[in-house]
């Protein structure tokens, strides 16, 4: 990933689930000069936040053997919004995984109120060359605060 749309991993159970946070700031590049009267984080970017955290979960769970690339989303339900000053709590759960791909369910909430759910995010898994795994591990470990 060139940029991350989640700030930190909060909880992690290898091969099962992860949760993280995304702090929404009025200085987010996607909000500047875009929504003058009612700035909200666009729903596609909340989905991307969930997808990135899900990819992180898959990669770390595989001990950095696989890189997860999102290929499909199904069953999006928007229930609210996130505005500057909000902290979005992101939840991802692996439903199915094998050496070719994975499917996850995901949800986002603000102050324990659901704002977005995704019934299915599908990923294709690409094997990471052995010589690249340690560099990726350093980047991903920084996100978990470990």
User: What angle, 0 to 180 degrees and rounded to 10, lies between the N-to-C axes of helices 130-144 and 43-61?
Assistant: 120
**Rounded to 5 degrees, what are φ and ψ at 34?**
-115, -50
Q: How far apart are CA 129 and CA 141, in angstroms?
A: 18
3-state DSSP assignment of residue 44: helix
3-state DSSP assignment of residue 26: coil
Is residue 34 annotated as part of the catalytic site, yes or no? yes
* Residue 2 CA to its chain's centroid (Å): 14
Catalytic residue among 25, 32, 34, 126: 34
Q: Can you give the C-alpha Rg of the chain in angstroms?
A: 15
Catalytically annotated residues: 34
């Amino acid at each position: 990933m060139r940029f991350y749309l989640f700030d930190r991993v909060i909880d992690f159970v290898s091969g099962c689930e992860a949760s993280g946070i995304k702090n929404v700031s009025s200085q987010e590049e996607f909000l500047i000069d875009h929504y003058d009267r009612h700035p909200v984080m666009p729903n596609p970017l909340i989905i991307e936040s969930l997808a990135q955290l899900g990819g992180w979960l898959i990669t770390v769970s595989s001990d950095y053997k696989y890189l997860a690339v999102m290929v499909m989303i199904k069953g999006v339900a928007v229930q609210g919004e996130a505005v500057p000053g909000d902290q979005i709590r992101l939840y991802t759960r692996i439903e199915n995984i094998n050496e070719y791909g994975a499917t996850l369910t995901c949800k986002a909430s603000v102050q324990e109120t659901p704002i977005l759910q995704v019934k299915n995010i599908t990923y294709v898994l690409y094997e990471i060359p052995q010589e690249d795994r340690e560099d990726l591990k350093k980047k991903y470990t920084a996100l978990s605060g470990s």
